[in-house]
Structure 1
Amino acid sequence: MHGWRLKSVKQSLLQWRRSYSKIPGELKGKYDAVLIGGGHNGLVAAAYLQRSGVNTAVLERRHVIGGAAVTEEIIPGFRFSRASYLLSLLRPQIYKDLELKKHGVKVYFRDPHSFTPMLENRNGQKPRSLLLGGDMAENQRQIAMFSKRDAKAYPEYENFMNRLVCAIDPLLDSPPVDTSAITRGSLLKRLKSLKTLKPLMKAGITLGSDIPKYYEVLTAPISKILDHWFESEPLKCTLATDAVIGAMASPATPGSGYVLLHHVMGELEGKKGCWGYVEGGMGAVSEAIARSATALGAEIYTEKVVKEILVNKGKVQGVVLQDGTEVHSNLVLSNASPHHTFLQLTPKEQLPEDFITTISKFDSKSPVTKINVAVDRLPNFLALPNTPDGKPSPHHQCSIHLNSEDTQLLNEAYEDACKGKPSTRPMIELCIPSSLDPTLAPPGGHVISLFTQYTPYNLSGGRQWNDEERNSYADTVFDWIEKYAPGFKSSVIGRDILTPPDLERVFGLPGGNIFHGSMSLDQLYFARPVPTFSNYRTPISGLYLCGSGSHPGGGVMGASDANAALAAIQDLKYS
Structure 2
Amino acid sequence: MRLLTLCRTRQHPTWLPWLRQFSTQTAVNNKNLKSSYDVVVIGAGHNGLVSAAYLQKQGINVCVLERRHVIGGAAVTEEIVPGYKFSRASYVLSLLRPQVYKDLELKKYGLKVYLRDPNAYTPLIEPQTIKGNKVTSLILGRDGNKNREQIGQFSSTDAQRFVEFEGMLDRVVSSLDPLLDSPPLYLPSLWQQSSMREKFKTLQSLRNLFKCVKGLGKDSVAFYELMTAPATKILDKWFESEPLKATLATDAVIGAMISPETPGSGYVLLHHVMGEIEGIKGAWGYVEGGMGSVSQSIANCALDHGANIFTNKSVDSILTKDDTAVGVVLEDGTEIKAKVILSNATPKVTYLDLLPKDCLPPEMVKEVSLFSYDSPVTKINVAVNKIPNFLANPNDSINSIMPHHRCTIHINCEDTSDITKTYLDAKQGRYSRRPMIEMTIPSSLDPTLAPDGHHVVLLFTQYTPYHLENGQVWDEEQRNAYADLVFDSIEDYAPGFKDSVVGRDILTPPDLERVFGLTGGNIFHGAMSLDQLYMSRPTSQLSNYRSPVSGLYLCGSGAHPGGGVMGAAGRLAASTVIQDRKQFGL
The TM-score range, normalised by the shorter chain, is over 0.9
Q: Which moved more, 1:213-222 or 1:400-409?
A: 213-222
Shift in Å, 1:15: 11
Return the match for 1:375 from 375, 379, 384.
384
Q: What letter is aligned with 2:260?
A: P
- C-alpha RMSD of matched pairs (Å): 1.8
> Paired residue for 1:140?
148
What does the per-residue CA deviation read over 1:306-357, in whole Å, with 9 as the maximum and x for residues that have no partner? 0110111111101111111111111000000000001110011111111111
What does the per-residue CA deviation read over 1:146-175, in whole Å, with 9 as the maximum and x for residues that have no partner? 111101111111111111111121111111
For residues 172-187 of structure 1, what are the structure 2 equivalents within 5 Å? Answer: 172-186=180-194
CA contact (8 A) 1:281 1:440 kept: yes
> Paired residue for 2:87?
81
CA contact (8 A) 2:121 2:138 kept: yes
CA contact (8 A) 2:22 2:80 kept: no
**Aligned equivalents of 2:195 and 2:517: distance in 1?**
40
Q: Which moved more, 1:195-204 or 1:225-234?
A: 195-204
Q: Which moved more, 1:149-158 or 1:186-195?
A: 186-195
Is residue 2:469 matched to residue 1:463? no
Is residue 2:348 matched to residue 1:339? yes
> Paired residue for 1:429?
438
> Paired residue for 1:567?
576
> Paired residue for 2:290?
281
**Aligned equivalents of 2:90 and 2:348: distance in 1?**
21
Is residue 2:99 matched to residue 1:90? no
Shift in Å, 1:523: 0.3
Return the match for 1:167 from 175, 178, 201.
175
Shift in Å, 1:456: 0.0
**Aligned equivalents of 2:175 and 2:452: distance in 1?**
45
Cα gap change, 1:153/1:174 in structure 2, threshold over 3 Å: closer, same or farther?
A: same
Shift in Å, 1:205: 1.9
Cα gap change, 1:472/1:78 in structure 2, threshold over 3 Å: closer, same or farther?
A: same
**Aligned equivalents of 2:72 and 2:309: distance in 1?**
11
For residues 185-204 of structure 1, what are the structure 2 equivalents within 5 Å? Answer: 185-186=193-194, 188=196, 189-204=198-213
Is residue 2:454 matched to residue 1:448? no
Shift in Å, 1:389: 5.4
For residues 61-140 of structure 1, what are the structure 2 equivalents within 5 Å? Answer: 61-120=67-126, 128-140=136-148
CA contact (8 A) 1:118 1:405 kept: yes
CA contact (8 A) 2:44 2:71 kept: yes
Q: What letter is aligned with 2:266?
A: G
CA contact (8 A) 2:54 2:571 kept: yes
Cα gap change, 1:417/1:572 in structure 2, threshold over 3 Å: closer, same or farther?
A: same
What does the per-residue CA deviation read over 1:56-103, in whole Å, with 9 as the maximum and x for residues that have no partner? 000000000000000001011111000010011010011011111111
Q: Which moved more, 1:225-234 or 1:182-191?
A: 182-191
> Paired residue for 2:429?
420
Q: Mind listing any 5+ residue stretches in structure 2 that lack a counterpart?
A: 3-20
Shift in Å, 1:46: 0.2
Give the 3-state SS of the residue equivalent to 1:165 in structure 2.
helix
Return the match for 1:351 from 338, 360, 363.
360
> Paired residue for 1:487?
496
CA contact (8 A) 2:236 2:245 kept: yes
Give the 3-state SS of the residue equivalent to 2:381 in structure 1.
strand
Q: What letter is aligned with 2:120?
A: S
Shift in Å, 1:571: 0.6
Shift in Å, 1:184: 1.8
**Aligned equivalents of 1:397 and 1:255: distance in 2?**
30
Return the match for 2:47 from 41, 48, 52.
41
What does the per-residue CA deviation read over 1:166-191, in whole Å, with 9 as the maximum and x for residues that have no partner? 11211111110011112223461322
CA contact (8 A) 1:183 1:190 kept: no
Give the 3-state SS of the residue equivalent to 1:451 in structure 2.
strand
Shift in Å, 1:25: 1.9
Return the match for 1:308 from 317, 326, 347.
317
Return the match for 2:164 from 147, 152, 156.
156
**Aligned equivalents of 2:330 and 2:316: distance in 1?**
5
Cα gap change, 1:30/1:223 in structure 2, threshold over 3 Å: closer, same or farther?
A: same
> Paired residue for 2:5?
none
CA contact (8 A) 1:169 1:265 kept: yes
Shift in Å, 1:424: 1.7
Shift in Å, 1:121: 5.1
Is residue 2:63 matched to residue 1:60? no
Shift in Å, 1:206: 1.0
For residues 226-305 of structure 1, what are the structure 2 equivalents within 5 Å? Answer: 226-305=235-314
Q: Which moved more, 1:302-311 or 1:389-398?
A: 389-398
Give the 3-state SS of the residue equivalent to 2:272 in structure 1.
helix
**Aligned equivalents of 2:559 and 2:280: distance in 1?**
26
**Aligned equivalents of 2:195 and 2:104: distance in 1?**
36
**Aligned equivalents of 2:381 and 2:24: distance in 1?**
19
Q: What letter is aligned with 1:155?
A: V
Shift in Å, 1:214: 1.5
Pairs aligned (count): 564
Q: Kindly report structure 1 stretches of 4+ aligned residues shifted beyond 4 Å.
A: 13-17, 121-127
User: Identity over aligned residues, as a percent?
Assistant: 61
**Aligned equivalents of 2:219 and 2:104: distance in 1?**
37
**Aligned equivalents of 2:419 and 2:123: distance in 1?**
15
Cα gap change, 1:435/1:210 in structure 2, threshold over 3 Å: closer, same or farther?
A: closer
Shift in Å, 1:533: 1.5
For residues 9-48 of structure 1, what are the structure 2 equivalents within 5 Å? Answer: 16=24, 20-48=26-54
CA contact (8 A) 2:97 2:567 kept: yes
**Aligned equivalents of 2:262 and 2:243: distance in 1?**
19
Q: Mind listing any 5+ residue stretches in structure 1 that lack a counterpart?
A: 3-12
**Aligned equivalents of 2:212 and 2:135: distance in 1?**
43
> Paired residue for 1:10?
none
CA contact (8 A) 1:180 1:533 kept: no
**Aligned equivalents of 2:98 and 2:502: distance in 1?**
38
Give the 3-state SS of the residue equivalent to 1:395 in structure 2.
helix
Q: What letter is aligned with 2:189?
A: A
Return the match for 1:552 from 561, 566, 569.
561
**Aligned equivalents of 1:178 and 1:193: distance in 2?**
6
**Aligned equivalents of 1:14 and 1:408: distance in 2?**
42
CA contact (8 A) 2:42 2:64 kept: yes
**Aligned equivalents of 1:297 and 1:121: distance in 2?**
58
Give the 3-state SS of the residue equivalent to 2:524 in structure 1.
coil
What does the per-residue CA deviation read over 1:482-534, in whole Å, with 9 as the maximum and x for residues that have no partner? 00001111111110000000000000001000001000000000000001120
* TM-score, scaled to structure 1: 0.96
**Aligned equivalents of 1:15 and 1:222: distance in 2?**
39
